[in-house]
Structure 1
Amino acid sequence: MKHLYFGLMLLLCAVANSQTTISGTVTTSSDGTTVPFVNVIAVNTDAATITDENGMFSLEVPAAANELRFSAIGFITQTTSINGRTTINITLQESTTDLDEVVITALGLERETKELGYVVQTIEAEEVSAVKAPNFLDNLAGKLAGVTVSQGATGVGSSSKITIRGEASFSNNNPLFIVDGTPINNNTVFNESNEAAAGFQEIDFGNGAMEVNPDDIASVSVLKGPSAAALYGTRASNGVIIIETKNGSQSKGLGISINTSVFVDTPFKLPEFQNQYGQGNSGQFEFVDGLGGGVNDLISYSWGPRLDQGTLIAQFDSPVTLPDGTVVRGGDTSLYNGVAITPTAFNSHPDNLKDFYETGVTTINNVAIGSAFDKGNYRISFTDLRSESIIPGVNLDRQTVATKLNFKPTDKTTFNASISYVNSGSDNRPSNGYGSENVNYALVAWGPRSLDINSLRQYWQPGLEGVQHYSFNYTYFDNPFFTMYENRNSFNRDRVFGNISIKQQITENLSLSLRSGMDYSSETRQLRRAFSSNRFQNGGYAEHDVFYREINTEFLLNYNNIFGDFSLDVSLGGNRLDQKASTKQSQTVNLAQPGVFNLNNAASPIDVFQFESNKRINSLYGIAKLGYRNFLFLDLTGRNDWSSALATPFSVDGTSFFYPSASASFILSEVVELPKAFSYAQLRASVAQVGNDTQPYQTSGAFISQTAYNGQPTFSNQNFIPNANLRPEQTTSYEVGADIRFLKDRIRLDATYYNALTKDQIISLPIAISSGYNQQVVNGGEVRTQGVELIADLTPILTANFKWNTTFNFSSNTSRVESLPQADGRLTLAYSRIYDSANQTVWFQVEEGGKIGDIYGTGYQKTEDGQFILTPSGSYIADNNLKKIGNYTPDFMLGWNNSFSYKNWNLSFLFDWRQGGELVSRTRALGTVGGQLAETANRPEEGIVPQGVVNTGTAENPQYVQNTTAVSAETYYRQFYDRNHEENNIYDASYLKLRQFSVGYTFNLKDGFLGLSNGMDIDLALVGRNLFAISEIPHFDPEQLAVQGTGFVSGVEDMSYATTRSIGLKAGFNF
């Protein structure tokens, strides 16, 4: 199919013939430099284009066209008469805002911002790609009010989670992504992990939207509320992110753009450790076999002897001299029998975790060519991303080919094609969660401070390569280098997404558009486990095939006209969505021969998991836009969806749902004479109803293939009772807002208040296991979401040579539960746990009156005034009743973006402030219990007196006195931070982060340079991402996600890998 699309575009280019066009150049009024990406529109026609990187454009216009309109962010819109001219050069006056700026709205329709009764926030190409991240979503953090981006915890290639206006659904809060009018998949497909202490742990292979290439993006528009997104029906309740890609050059000469970026990545923050005490327990340690044969060598706590005291102790890397004179290491336990280990100095290794990480390098190279021909333009782009992670053995390679064609064979026919092919892969993705497959299990949680990480780099025992690895403990842990280089989780993914569309101007006022788009992805994964792995003593191997395909075919019939003081624009359209997804997993946990990773090498029955789903949504929709004298605008929309996910084998009743919206915009400044300082004032309001569809087979159930029995295929039911009456979630929302601008647009203030009620939540309620199922899917529950968004855009300084623009994006949101199907209980939305232990679980539950994001856990008994209650021996008393211990939703978020330009110099930086919310840390819980973290450094010989009171009375009549009994430091820390009690391992998740920084210079080389007719622009910049943060959390980046089972969990940090600080150089060449 890739070859067919590409060949079609080449054919269309070849058959293009000559036709007259209007061309020209757009420059600035301040210094005469050219302006790229200016919208050029023939007024009252469908003819439109944008200027290229050199500010040039070429546009075919109908004979009836009289005016051209030029608009761009940062400039005042200008309209000029054509008057028979074929060359029009325009000078735009700079402004901080854009009163008539055209933005992309639902269905890819272009609208002027003044017409909209809802807020649409847009960021342009320069902001998206200023400091590029391997995951496209990370480029949006802090730049959009109400948009939250949280990065994954496994380095380059990790998934990032994005939400718009908080979380309102119990099941799905993912926004819809649209690229050039076509929906694309942003799902993350995890491996089907085993939550117990065996099997493959969770692995993050990345989210779908990360493969959108920033070098190909022209703009990103966010439809935040249901009113803005209502035309997407059952997919609209969580907002929509619309991505428009770049068009070709508007000049007939070949335009070439070359961009290269090189980043050096280092750990952003590492845990703070104590380095006074080493491996052992109760002050004693001696290594014999790492299996309990020595003194406390079964465990790896750091409650052992003091370090750096000259003490000689047998350790895993101490020498062993064999009878033949050969010297091996103490950990080479398979090579000696009864030979004594020579004790060596018991010293600290403060940098053992730092030395494990490497310096990462990411390079991103892009080459784009484009040109205009008589009837259109084209652009072809190739991008190569190669990243070596700070985590040893982890990498990401991604190559992207993007093509775009705009072709107008006749005055009334327009053809467009936008197609991207992406190949991405990695030799290794690190494992997540609690267990030996996550190297932080051995390095942070239970990594003794006496561990010399460099002694582990040679990770095979001599002569037993491929059979037995070398480590400091053989009971619970694997050598971290062995894990990263031998136990690999690789993948390779091919993806094609894009669309082909045609628009026919039937009459001057009537047009018909047809579009068909597809997102196709095919991925293979291989999970290899070497012999002697803690969870796979005889090795293991798994193959996963992950497939996804979505096809959207649609039409849109549009009529527009002007009747005196009124303008009317009416559209009727329809869409058919066909979606198919499948996952096939085959694995063995025993290999016959070491190092042969193939299912044919299985020494035990192969486990098989296979699931396939299909879904179809048929839709009809309509839009009516009415304007009055260019100051009052009314929009009415309606969409009806028929979803196969709501059908049953016996009926299609209940599959049809209608979603209406209405919005109005009033330009106050066009009607009322405001004080001179006001340059523009808009009031807006909207109301809408949208849906949130369910996954297939919730209404009728399905069979899942399982491991064969005696050679015969087996299948099982899903673990829930289907609900034939299931309905989609429904959100009814209203919002009001204002856009006020002052001092010739030097100051812009935009405010929005929204209030939404989401009902008919799709919930999986637990039921008695005696029913044969675990859950029942029902509709129920209501969530009220309220929030405010404030955008302040200011230009404090604007001269001929110097400009400072600063933007504040503020948002605050809360989602409160108004009702539940079980009014007297709590509903569990998610959890994060160690193995299968309910006593070591962080719960995310909701109850009536509570909020989404509430965190529940256990703690210790306290008095009414909050003092700990202790036993007479000084021990804390467990309170195993679940109680609310926090909420992960921030109180507010504020992004502060600044850009400075002086002649050819430019400087920009972005601060991202998140205030409030809580975070439970597994790193803290486990690292303190293990005696590794800095909190446990104070260990007085006389012990520690726990703060609290002792009950000297009775349970019915308590009499409390202050505790005076001391316990050993080891007892105190291990109990206070016990991982069974999450209350003492929670942090304030607030942070202030310097998200990105850039300083650069542009060389404008004149015409004739190197024989180039249009000269060349060279952009050079020093850039950085995640440069520093202010946070009360000492051990890790607070911007983290945990993975549990097959999904993300907010509000928990689960032994995460270090995030990165990136500093790099960027160069761009345009000619």
Structure 2
Amino acid sequence: MKNNDLKDVFYLKYPELKQLTKIMRVFILCLLCSIQFLFAENSYSQSARVTMNLKNVKLAKVLNEIESQTSYLFIYNNKVGVDQTTTVNVKDKPTAEVLDHVLKNTNISYSMEGAHIILSANANTKETGATQQDRLVTGTIKDKNGEPLIGVSVAIKGTSTGTMTDIDGNFSIKVPAGKTLEVTYIGYVSQTLNVGNQTSFDVVLKESDVNLDEVVVTALGIKRAQKALSYNVQEIKGDQLTGVKDVNLMNSLSGKVAGVNINASAAGIGGATRVVMRGSKSITKDNNALYVIDGVPIFNANKGGLNQNNEYADQPRGEGISDLNPDDIESMSVLTGPAAAALYGSNAANGAIVITTKKGATGKPKVTISNQTTFSRPFVMPDFQNKYGNKTGEYKSWGDVQNKYAYNPSDFFDTGATSQTSATLSVGTDKNQTFMSLGSTKANGIIPENDYMKYNATLRNTTKFLNDKMILDFGFSYIKQKDQNMMAQGQYYNPLTAIYTYPRGEDFSYAKNYELYSDALGYNVQQWKFGDQGLGMQNPYWIINRNRMVNKRDRYMMNVNLQYNIFDWMNVMGRARLDNSQNNFTQKNYASTHQLFASETGRFKSTKEDYKQAYADLLLNINKYFGSYSLSANIGTSISDMRSDESGVDGASLMIPNFFAITNIDKNAPKTRLIQDGWHEQTQSVFANVELGWKSMLYLTLTGRNDWASALANTSNSSFFYPSVGVSGVVSEMVKLPSFISYMKVRGSYSSVGSAIPRNLSIPTYEYDEQGGFWKTNTYMPITDLKPERTGSWEAGLSSKFWGNRLSFDMTWYKSNTKNQTLKVPVSPTTGYTSMYIQTGNVENQGVEITLGADNKWGNFNWNSTFTASYNKNTIKQLGKYADPVTGEMVTLESISQGGIGASEFRLMAGGTMGDFYVKKKLKYDDKGAVVLNENGSPELENTMDKVGSVLPKWNLGFRNDFRWKDINFGFLVSARLGGIVVSPTQAILDGFGVTKATAVARDNGGVMIGNTKIDPYKYYSVTGQTEGLLSDYIYKATNLRLQEVSVGYTLPSKWFNDVMKVNVSFVGRNLWMIYNKAPFDPEATASTGTYFQGIDYFMQPSLRNLGFSVKVEF
């Protein structure tokens, strides 16, 4: 019997697990330190002391002073008379003793609940004493979500006798016969309880939006009252993102906010998501939204996702924002307009998503452990045929009826599986709070050998010093991520070209034996007898096993925020953040891979990419009241420094076949090249935001920012300034409205946001010629007079609430114009150059955003519903003119081609949109209107340039509903897109290969009818069914309606676990039902996060239908 020592038993096979183990050790150490700090601080918080000497001041001043010297927070409603005058002179006295003194001769009582001190007003009437008829009344008070409310005032109406709820929301009070109880709590609608003979009450308080100022996180991570905002901000809580999780948390935002167009990646699990707000604005630059984490903008590294704009396509990769753990998110504020995000600088024209991460909380430690496991299958696929096979010696399926083989392309796909596990800890005292989390994501895609995994570790600690005047907030995150064989679309390295077109008369098991041993060569070679069919085609199983592409990423983010409260109305805050990541990419092509991709001995590519971002800012924040007026101001400066460095080698030929090492690369091979690339950019800024308020009903907001961007080096404009102005008025506070209108606000704003030119444009650089295998200089004319791209935006909106908070309505109208577009145009070779850059053009986006909400409760049943609708009209107002550098004559820029596929292209023209799609071929007709056939009976095509539509949507809709009955919860989300087109070159090629249901139907019918002419199916589809054929036949309406999310959950009775934990189990699903869709693929999927090549399916991986379960444990 073999003996195993312990190191063999507990050996960690995978290096990633070793790394995770090290991280867990550090976390355990931090946890022990935090627990020690927790107990050390607890004794202090119980005896917080204050020192003050105030004469004839208002009670409110004393309360503010206590808050500034301690960690206590006072809670009271407008019935508490804090304008009373008092005098106090104490030194190092306990807070309770000071309160006893200043409240002694007032009608105010208090209770201390943890870090909260709750004040309540007593009546002046004579107290009602207890008699023999007194009845003991008990009860529990909760909010609409079933959470207990602490410190709720429960008083006998008309007397000063009362009590408050404890930490569990419970109360007890003796009530004389015939008396009623009055329940009051700040921010909630008061209730009256008729006692009668009843001795127990279960009370649910409803929020009062009229009395409670709703606060949202806005630009720079600053919290502001919703009523003061002059622009549209939509907030999504973290639990709305984790109910039905996605590996990329941005996909969980789809359909839940207005004005945002979200397209999930066709690369599947972990792919980059396209997020565009209020339409595409820039013709040549990125139009994706800016991401901000805890007030700091981040660089969303997304290599391989922006430029998938041809039929070949590189391997896609993930993006920086997908690295985040969804369970670390507290909330998201979606700033769809430039005015909302103007303080963020040059990227603000595209809007911003401001992410607030979780912090530790005071009170007892809270641990949450959750897991969501889902299983995936293809969502939408083309309709195939298996009736007609291929002819002997041919690949295409244009042969006779066959019944020998039953081939189904969907059998190639695996059932994907994704498991996301997260554990969080929140612990803290009044002085120190800590949040920790660990996350793990492991996934197998529907394409065999496509794997994804990610590990997250997060630590955040907040500490107060110097009598709470100084607050230090420190955070650290580490992410380790790996993906293998991620694939979006294109014909290179794509197994679907062979899977979809495989001859229906051939045995598919042949393809599964993808390699054979060669005695002559001494190693395995690819088995594939069908050639590449003009598509770079290989054996699909060879691609997934012998053309492996692996990307590994290590990323750490560290941030620190130090705030000092100079006065209770002024503080200074400094923030710094480091965000570094290292990507290691390897590509191994084994010998006998297609010669387009490798030599006969194989290919090895290895690169290392380092992304580094450093950000720092310093802000002075003011929040002051002057009688009826208020002033809120933020003045600051910031610096953002980003750099990228890439190095490696691409060895197109190996000296020893299939030995993948840099030392084995034939450095003298023609296509072997060393890789060294990079860039560095920096932006320095000053900015200010000033908000003036009057009687909490009328607000004026002014912002300004000036950027000095390194991209503008060597130009005549070294910096640029952009302002915004906005007004907001609470109509319901100004005039008396009908009683059913609880709240109404109107708002309007204007902003002008600049965006620097692309980096390195003003500095001559080199570029590598992939085809020629050499470096070359750029050949555009030198430029010095370049200005920033500028977006001017108008916005107006209405927000209202009816019948309390049972119904809400928000509508926003906007219009933006983006000018100074930087465009490249050809010039005469006599200049010595081939092109030059000009700045012209005007792209307009105009639209409406609508949000309608309802929140109702009937007994134990609660229903929350939100409907969102977004309309956007994109128009190219002009492309402009420019002076010819040789003749000086003005040249009108008629159109711009943005590439396409085959006989098609995206073409921009004045009066059109940035999504206009044109086809270059059409059927040729004779004078009598009949299709012209050649001598072989095949239809003839003629050249054209016809616009067939725009890939841009007109409307995006979302309808979310959440129901709760006792411990059962059910929710679903239906989303829709209206308008626009999509095109499927995939369907065209499949028709040409004779493998679609349409070609089988045509053969069954004896031909394809075009007008009165019947054409042989093979002759028709051989001409029209290709990328250079009749793509106008493969244009589809993009309108679709789907059941996007479903969750059904049950919270198990806590008594099952001795009341020590809360357990919820749920069934979850995503993309469960495509209710309406005419396209042979998912119109919302994309292979590119760029502006163009949207709405095109070229052997795109199907989007995913996910089903699974979720378990969440809290204790």
| TM-score, normalization by structure 1 | 0.82
- For the pair 1:428 / 2:485, whether they are aligned, the reply is yes
**Residue 244 (structure 1) shift:** 0.8
Question: Is this contact kept in 2: 1:73–1:96, CA < 8 A?
Answer: no
**Residue 184 (structure 1) shift:** 1.8
- For the pair 1:304 / 2:352, whether they are aligned, the reply is no
Cα 1:386–1:755 change in 2 (3 A) is: same
Classify the secondary structure of the residue corresponding to 1:744: coil
Q: Which of 990, 994, 1005 is the matching residue for 2:1054?
A: 1005
C-alpha distance after superposition, 1:1030-1062 (max 9, x if no partner): 344353222222359x98621211111122111
Equivalence for 1:637? 703
What letter corresponds to residue 866 of structure 2 in structure 1?
A: T
Q: Which of 504, 525, 548 is the matching residue for 1:488?
A: 548
What letter corresponds to residue 790 of structure 1 in structure 2?
A: I
What letter corresponds to residue 139 of structure 1 in structure 2?
A: S
Distance (Å, rounded) in 2 between the aligned partners of 1:608 and 1:59: 63
- For the pair 1:218 / 2:330, whether they are aligned, the reply is yes
- For the pair 1:620 / 2:709, whether they are aligned, the reply is no
Q: Where does 1:187-586 land on structure 2 (aligned, <5 Å)?
A: 187-190=301-304, 201-251=313-363, 253-279=364-390, 284-285=391-392, 295-296=393-394, 300-308=395-403, 347-351=404-408, 353-410=409-466, 411-430=468-487, 432-435=489-492, 437-444=493-500, 446-462=501-517, 466-476=523-533, 477-534=537-594, 535=596, 536=598, 537-586=600-649
What letter corresponds to residue 1040 of structure 2 in structure 1?
A: Y
What letter corresponds to residue 794 of structure 1 in structure 2?
A: A
**Residue 383 (structure 1) shift:** 0.3
Distance (Å, rounded) in 1 between the aligned partners of 2:46 and 2:717: 53
**Residue 619 (structure 1) shift:** 0.5
**Residue 546 (structure 1) shift:** 1.8
**Residue 799 (structure 1) shift:** 1.6
Distance (Å, rounded) in 1 between the aligned partners of 2:929 and 2:209: 55
Equivalence for 2:1096? 1052
Q: Which of 233, 241, 244 is the matching residue for 1:131?
A: 244
Q: Which moved more, 1:42-51 or 1:600-609?
A: 42-51
Question: Is this contact kept in 1: 2:305–2:1088, CA < 8 A?
Answer: no
Distance (Å, rounded) in 2 between the aligned partners of 1:236 and 1:74: 39
What letter corresponds to residue 617 of structure 2 in structure 1?
A: E
Classify the secondary structure of the residue corresponding to 1:666: strand
Identity %: 29
Q: Which of 801, 815, 831 is the matching residue for 2:899?
A: 831
Q: CA RMSD in A?
A: 3.9
Distance (Å, rounded) in 2 between the aligned partners of 1:850 and 1:1047: 15
Aligned length in residues: 954
Equivalence for 2:974? 911
What letter corresponds to residue 124 of structure 1 in structure 2?
A: K
Equivalence for 2:98? none
Equivalence for 2:874? 815
Distance (Å, rounded) in 2 between the aligned partners of 1:706 and 1:125: 46
Distance (Å, rounded) in 2 between the aligned partners of 1:302 and 1:174: 42
Equivalence for 1:1036? 1081
Cα 1:868–1:533 change in 2 (3 A) is: farther
Question: Is this contact kept in 2: 1:496–1:521, CA < 8 A?
Answer: yes
Question: Is this contact kept in 2: 1:538–1:591, CA < 8 A?
Answer: yes
Cα 1:939–1:782 change in 2 (3 A) is: closer
**Residue 974 (structure 1) shift:** 2.4
**Residue 47 (structure 1) shift:** 7.4
- For the pair 1:728 / 2:788, whether they are aligned, the reply is yes
Cα 1:740–1:1004 change in 2 (3 A) is: same
Cα 1:221–1:213 change in 2 (3 A) is: same
C-alpha distance after superposition, 1:974-1007 (max 9, x if no partner): 233342232121111111011110000112525x
- For the pair 1:747 / 2:747, whether they are aligned, the reply is no
Distance (Å, rounded) in 2 between the aligned partners of 1:196 and 1:402: 39
Distance (Å, rounded) in 2 between the aligned partners of 1:654 and 1:370: 49
Distance (Å, rounded) in 1 between the aligned partners of 2:811 and 2:318: 35
Distance (Å, rounded) in 1 between the aligned partners of 2:642 and 2:792: 27
Q: Where does 1:921-1000 land on structure 2 (aligned, <5 Å)?
A: 921-940=984-1003, 943-944=1006-1007, 946-948=1009-1011, 963-964=1012-1013, 966-980=1014-1028, 981-1000=1030-1049
- For the pair 1:674 / 2:737, whether they are aligned, the reply is yes
Equivalence for 2:1105? 1061
Distance (Å, rounded) in 2 between the aligned partners of 1:73 and 1:843: 53
**Residue 487 (structure 1) shift:** 0.7
Classify the secondary structure of the residue corresponding to 1:370: strand
Question: Is this contact kept in 1: 2:71–2:431, CA < 8 A?
Answer: no
What letter corresponds to residue 862 of structure 2 in structure 1?
A: K
Q: Which moved more, 1:267-276 or 1:750-759?
A: 267-276
Distance (Å, rounded) in 2 between the aligned partners of 1:826 and 1:120: 38
Classify the secondary structure of the residue corresponding to 1:538: coil
Higher alpha-carbon Rg? 2
Classify the secondary structure of the residue corresponding to 2:525: coil
Distance (Å, rounded) in 1 between the aligned partners of 2:148 and 2:956: 30
Distance (Å, rounded) in 2 between the aligned partners of 1:907 and 1:564: 48
Equivalence for 1:843? 905
Distance (Å, rounded) in 1 between the aligned partners of 2:865 and 2:944: 49
What letter corresponds to residue 567 of structure 2 in structure 1?
A: T
**Residue 87 (structure 1) shift:** 7.8
What letter corresponds to residue 702 of structure 2 in structure 1?
A: L
What letter corresponds to residue 396 of structure 2 in structure 1?
A: Y
Equivalence for 2:293? 179
Cα 1:247–1:147 change in 2 (3 A) is: same
Distance (Å, rounded) in 2 between the aligned partners of 1:172 and 1:728: 14
Distance (Å, rounded) in 2 between the aligned partners of 1:639 and 1:887: 36
Cα 1:89–1:832 change in 2 (3 A) is: same
Distance (Å, rounded) in 2 between the aligned partners of 1:306 and 1:113: 68
Distance (Å, rounded) in 2 between the aligned partners of 1:225 and 1:1059: 30
Cα 1:853–1:640 change in 2 (3 A) is: same
Question: Is this contact kept in 1: 2:74–2:119, CA < 8 A?
Answer: no
Q: Which of 190, 206, 221 is the matching residue for 1:108?
A: 221
Distance (Å, rounded) in 2 between the aligned partners of 1:888 and 1:807: 27
Greater relative CO (CA pairs within 8 A, separation 6+): 1
Q: Where does 1:696-735 land on structure 2 (aligned, <5 Å)?
A: 696-704=759-767, 716-718=776-778, 720-735=780-795
Equivalence for 2:41? 18
Equivalence for 1:324? none
Classify the secondary structure of the residue corresponding to 2:1019: helix
Cα 1:222–1:500 change in 2 (3 A) is: same
Cα 1:393–1:579 change in 2 (3 A) is: same
Cα 1:1040–1:707 change in 2 (3 A) is: closer
C-alpha distance after superposition, 1:725-778 (max 9, x if no partner): 222211111110101111112111100000111111122334456766554333
| TM-score, normalization by structure 2 | 0.79
What letter corresponds to residue 413 of structure 1 in structure 2?
A: M
What letter corresponds to residue 878 of structure 1 in structure 2?
A: L
Question: Is this contact kept in 1: 2:150–2:168, CA < 8 A?
Answer: no
Classify the secondary structure of the residue corresponding to 1:792: strand
**Residue 62 (structure 1) shift:** 11
Cα 1:195–1:872 change in 2 (3 A) is: closer
What letter corresponds to residue 234 of structure 2 in structure 1?
A: Q
Classify the secondary structure of the residue corresponding to 2:986: helix
Cα 1:58–1:543 change in 2 (3 A) is: farther
What letter corresponds to residue 122 of structure 1 in structure 2?
A: E
Question: Is this contact kept in 2: 1:95–1:746, CA < 8 A?
Answer: no
